[in-house]
Amino acid sequence: MRALLQRVSEAEVTVDGESIGRCGAGLMILVCAMQGDTEVAAERLAGKVARLRIFRDEEGRMNRSVLDIGGGALVVSQFTLAADTSRGNRPGFSTAAAPEEGRRLYEHFAGALAALGVPVETGQFAGDMRVRLVNDGPVTIWMES
């Protein structure tokens, strides 16, 4: 699985003008299941995300996790993280998991993150979403399982 994490002071996703997910201080996580990914990969990624020390401690160092700060996560599916831009000008997405498998693994990742104690809200799988966030830092991290 692939994930793009952004440390945020707030984030929100809307569909048709309606807010369907939001978080305050914590993480905005864009997630893509790749062909061959498994539930184990989703759980491993969720564990790494929950324990990733990218939040400031009392001395201003990135030394605390989202769990340490009591932060939340907004998890949004984004198959375009599978983009292959090695040839031509149009990205290819053939390495992304099939939609049914992508949905299952996306939901499994969100559930695994919540099971670790991170309050999780989600976007709408395959939905036409609008995402608004305030990146804190800015801090943006690319992760793969």
Cβ neighbours, 10 Å, residue 29: 30
Rounded Cα distance between 93 and 116, Å, is 31
**pTM here?**
0.95
- Domain region containing 30: 2-144
- Catalytic, 79? Answer yes
Q: Give the per-residue pLDDT at 140.
A: 97
- Catalytic, 78? Answer yes
Q: Give the per-residue pLDDT at 137.
A: 95
Q: Measure the CA angle with vertex 144, ends 138 and 145; round to 5°.
A: 135
Determine how β-strand 2-15 pairs with β-strand 18-23.
Answer: antiparallel
Candidates 80, 93, 95, 125; catalytic one = 80
Rounded Cα distance between 101 and 38, Å, is 9
Candidates 79, 93, 124, 140; catalytic one = 79
Rounded Cα distance between 145 and 29, Å, is 14
116, two tokens: 């670790």
List all residues 6 or more positions away from 93 whose beta carbon is below 8 Å from its beta carbon: 79, 80, 82, 83, 84
- What SS3 class is residue 94? coil
Pick from 65, 64, 63: nearest CA to 49:
65
Q: Give the per-residue pLDDT at 18.
A: 97
Candidates 78, 85, 122, 125; catalytic one = 78
- What SS3 class is residue 125? coil
Which regions in the chain score pLDDT beneath 70? none
CATH assignment at residue 70: 3.50.80.10
Q: To 10 degrees, what angle do helices 39-51 and 99-115 make?
A: 40
Report how many domains make up the chain. Answer: 1
- Catalytic, 93? Answer no
